[in-house]
Amino acid sequence: MRFSRMKVTLAAAGLAASGVVAGMVVAAVPASAGPAAPHVSAATKVVLVNQCTGRGQIRPKSFDPGCMPSNSFITHMSWTSWGSVAFGSATFKINNCTPNCAQGKFVSYPILTVLWRARPWPKHTGREYFTRLTVIFTGAHHPHGPAAQTLPINP
C-alpha cells in the first residue's frame, strides 16, 4: 500500500494536534520546523540510530525497537520526506504468541511512521539523531495496543 506525502503529513499533523499519543504528550512541531530540503549537506543530516548496534542510518528499510529477536519489528520502510522530521510508511510485524511466543506467527499491519525530536548525537559532533518514533496504524491494529504509539529511541 502506498501513501502520498499529503496523507502522511495530514496524519502526522492530526497526531500532533491531538497532543496525546498512547498516553504520552507529543510536542507540536512548529510550521517552521517542517521537513528539510532533500539536498541537505551530509554534516547536518539527522539519522535513525539502531539501538542494538549504535549505528546511524538515513532512510532505513527496517527497524527493530526491541534490540534482540523480539516479538515486534518494522519492515518495508519507505520515506516520503527526511529532514528535521521524517515521514513514511511501513509494515509493523507483531508475534501473536499463539499458543506461545516461541511457536507464534508474525502478523503484519500497515503503518505510517513519523520520526521526530532530533537531538545532538553523543560522540558524533555536528550530527543529530531522532529520539522519537511514532507509528500510526492505518487499518486494523493489533488487539493489544492503541492505534498510534510513540516509542523512545536511545543511541
Q: Which residues pair with 81 in a beta bridge?
A: 87
Element (H, E) at 17: helix 5-18
Delimit the domains of the chain by residue range: 5-21+46-152
Residue 65: count of CB within 10 angstroms of its CB: 16
Predicted confidence (pLDDT) per residue in 79-88, tens digit: 999 999 999 9
- Residue 155's pLDDT is 82
Tens of pLDDT, residue by residue over 45-79, are: 899 998 888 899 999 999 988 776 678 899 999 99
- Grid coordinates representing 49? 540510530
